[in-house]
Amino acid sequence: MSTFAPPAPLPAVTDACPEQSAVPRPVRQLSVAGVAGVWAAAAVPMGLLSWVVAPRLADGLSGSAPLVQALIITLTVGLIWQFALVVGLVYREQRTLRWSVVREVL
């Protein structure tokens, strides 16, 4: 049976030392409402796109499987939204989108 060891705290980034700006900033813990908000921001649009938008879009499409085409289109839009959400959250937490920082926090 393995035991969980929490990771060591990350050093804080200061604006006075630009060469250290590639070091990830420590992330404060989200509240329960914050976690629910992030979950809702990711999950609700996907549900709406697949259960509301896709069937309406399928009515205007032609072909052998218009609902499948509509689902592919809307879920692709939803994945693009989730990508933008993750980029926004990482930038909000780290104040940078440098690859060396993003690689460490993801």
Rounded-to-integer distance, Cα 100 and Cα 50, Å = 35
List pLDDT tens digits, range 3-25: 666 666 666 555 555 555 567 67
Q: Does residue 93 carry a pLDDT above 90?
A: no
Q: What is the mean pLDDT of residues 64-74?
A: 95
What does DSSP assign to residue 21? T
- Report CA Rg, the chain: 20
On whether the pTM is more than 0.85, the answer is no
Nearest to 78 by CA among 106, 35, 48: 48
CA distance 14 to 17: 6
- Using 50, 70 and 90 to split pLDDT, how confident is the model at 70? very high
Question: Which pLDDT score, from 0 to 100, does residue 34 have?
Answer: 93
90 vs 105, more confident: 90
